């Protein structure tokens, strides 16, 4: 629910909503106290801890947490970022544990993707900026790839090693 700024868990058997994080009527609570209101200004997500996303792309979910590409439309400063959250579905709590804004402080008005890698790093597609980066949990850029202006990058799929043990000379 990108434009609703909500992540919703639905029971596949019954169609009932298990919980909703963010957006109007969300029932997941930020343990740090940043909680959107239930009124018509629920999209106003600018709390002191910058926990909530604004037009985010739910990119990678693993049950006890998720990584999201946050376009950043409704933040006071319109800058896109990636954010990782811990999620306790039973307690209905959320905690922001990592965020990264590109060094160029870009605003990516649409698209964007992030995957958390097995080594703990993040692989990020800044889509219309034409840039892909790998970032450590310490916010260090491991590498960056760029394409020409006008080209873009899309959803990410990590391929660990296309050569296997044997690499060409």
Tens-place pLDDT, residues 36-89 = 666 666 556 666 677 888 888 877 899 899 999 998 888 888 889 999 999 999
Residues sharing a CB contact under 8 Å with residue 17, sequence separation 6 or more, in sequence order: 8, 9, 10, 11
Burial readout 63-100 (b: 16 or more C-beta within 10 A, e: otherwise):
eebbbbbbbbbbbeeebbbbbbbebeeeeeebbbebbb
The string of pLDDT tens digits covering residues 78-136 is 889 999 999 999 999 999 999 999 878 888 877 889 999 999 999 999 887 878 899 99
């Amino acid at each position: 629910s990108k434009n609703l700024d909500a992540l919703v868990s639905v029971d596949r058997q019954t169609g009932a909503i298990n919980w909703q994080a963010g957006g109007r009527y969300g029932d997941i609570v930020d343990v740090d106290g940043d909680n959107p209101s239930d009124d018509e200004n629920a999209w106003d997500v600018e709390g002191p801890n910058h926990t909530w996303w604004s037009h985010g792309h739910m990119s990678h979910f693993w049950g006890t947490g998720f990584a999201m590409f946050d376009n950043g439309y409704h933040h006071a400063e319109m800058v896109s970022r990636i954010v990782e959250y811990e999620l306790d579905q039973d307690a209905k709590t959320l905690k922001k544990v990592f965020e990264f804004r590109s060094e160029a402080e870009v605003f990516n008005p649409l698209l964007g993707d992030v995957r958390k890698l097995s080594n703990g790093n993040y692989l990020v597609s800044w889509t219309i900026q034409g840039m892909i980066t790998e970032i450590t949990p310490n916010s260090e850029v491991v590498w960056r790839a760029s394409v020409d202006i006008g080209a873009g990058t899309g959803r990410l799929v990590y391929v660990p090693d296309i050569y296997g043990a044997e690499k060409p000379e």
